[in-house]
Amino acid sequence: MSDNEKQRPIIVVKKKGKHGGHHGGAWKVAYADFVTAMMAFFLVMWLVNQSDAVKKAVEGYFNDPVGFMKNAGKGVMQGGTSPVKDLKEQKQDIAKKIEEEQKRLSEAGKKIKKTIRESSEIAKLKDFVEVEMTTEGLRIQLIDASDNSDSSIFFDLGSAKLKPKTALLLSAIAGELGKLPNHIMIEGHTDARPMASSSYTNWELSADRANSARRQMEISGLQTNQVVEIRGDADVNLRIPTAPEDPRNRRVAIIVLDEAHDPKFKEIEVGSENASLE
């Protein structure tokens, strides 16, 4: 190696890799903003569906975070109750109200049975009137006899015309139910025997009988607009499914609706067993 080559400096060139402009970090900022916006959106959606107690608690935190945390130990709501405790107390109050409501309806049912037994005009019909508490509320059923399929106790056969004693019976029932604030639903049911005319079926007959009962009760003590629904079920909900043509399938049901069937009470279970009133 010559002297000039020994004195020549060694130059090391290092190349640094560079990303193109489209590989920058701006997308991360945009993505973070998107995630934050989505989180805020879902938080708002959650909050909209919460109770007033929870909404007030959240409002209290954002208005005064420091004061909110100081008071967290003794309750963040007015009066010193936490949202969880407040919701629990609300459910307890609702359950208590339902229990009282069922007791009131049960007492009304017993009064109706007593009124029928003690009336010389309609006492003979007591064996054909069933009064019971159900999951819907108080159910009163006028059930036809089983000994003679060619006659009817409450209506003219194949007709929605009330018999005189049926009108008296419905008037006695209306006298008690009119004292209650509850809404009422009336159902009509028939047996499976077809009507003589194809233009007037068991559907029309069952609905007409329920409507006849409504009219009689409304002129005998029910409050205005107390009846909220009329149903004609024909023979689709037989009382005795094994005997579709049994006269006992012919009936009119009067249901006094429990407040538990209001949507705000749906989260409370009120049981599923029927209890007959003696």
pLDDT of residue 64: 74
Which residue type, as a one-letter code, is found at position 65? P
Q: With bands split at pLDDT 50, 70 and 90, how would you rate the model's confidence at 22? A: low
User: What average pLDDT does range 222-248 have in this prediction?
Assistant: 94
The percent of residues in the chain predicted with pLDDT above 70, rounded, is: 75
DSSP letter, residue 25: S
User: What average pLDDT does range 205-225 have in this prediction?
Assistant: 96
pLDDT of residue 243: 93
CATH 3.30.1330.60 in the chain is located at 91-276
Question: Maximum Cα–Cα distance for the chain, whole Å?
Answer: 143
Instruction: Give me 130's structure tokens.
Output: 């069933």
Is pLDDT of 253 > 80?
Answer: yes
Q: With bands split at pLDDT 50, 70 and 90, how would you rate the model's confidence at 13? A: low
For the chain, helix, strand, coil in percent to 5 are: 50, 15, 40
pLDDT of residue 56: 77
**Secondary structure of residue 155 in the 3-state scheme:** strand
Residue predicted with more confidence, 76 or 200: 200
Q: Which residue has the tokens 């929605």?
A: 160
Is pLDDT of 99 > 80?
Answer: yes
pLDDT of residue 20: 53
DSSP letter, residue 249: G
pLDDT of residue 23: 56
Is pLDDT of 220 > 90?
Answer: yes
Phi, psi (5° rounding) for residue 155? -130, 160
For the domain spanning 91-276, the CATH number is 3.30.1330.60
User: What average pLDDT does range 78-93 have in this prediction?
Assistant: 64
**Over the stretch 118-169, which tens digit does the pLDDT of each residue have?**
999 999 999 999 999 998 899 999 999 866 666 789 998 889 999 999 999 9
Instruction: Give me 273's structure tokens.
Output: 């067993």
Q: With bands split at pLDDT 50, 70 and 90, how would you rate the model's confidence at 1? A: low
Inter-residue contact 106 to 138 (CB < 8 Å): yes
Phi, psi (5° rounding) for residue 67? -65, -35
Q: Which residues neighbour 229 within 8 Å (Cβ) at sequence distance 6 or greater?
A: 185, 186
CA distance 146 to 243: 11
pLDDT of residue 59: 77
CA distance 67 to 70: 5
The percent of residues in the chain predicted with pLDDT above 90, rounded, is: 50
CA distance 69 to 239: 61
- Strand stretches in the chain, DSSP E: 129-133, 137-143, 184-189, 227-232, 251-257, 275-276
CA distance 33 to 68: 28
The DSSP-derived string for 168-218 is: HHHHHHHHHHTTS---EEEEEE--SPPPS-TTS-HHHHHHHHHHHHHHHHH
pLDDT of residue 277: 56
Residue predicted with more confidence, 10 or 239: 239
Q: With bands split at pLDDT 50, 70 and 90, how would you rate the model's confidence at 54? A: confident
Q: What is the mean pLDDT of the chain?
A: 82
Which of 77-86, 99-108, 207-216, 217-226 has the lowest average pLDDT? 77-86
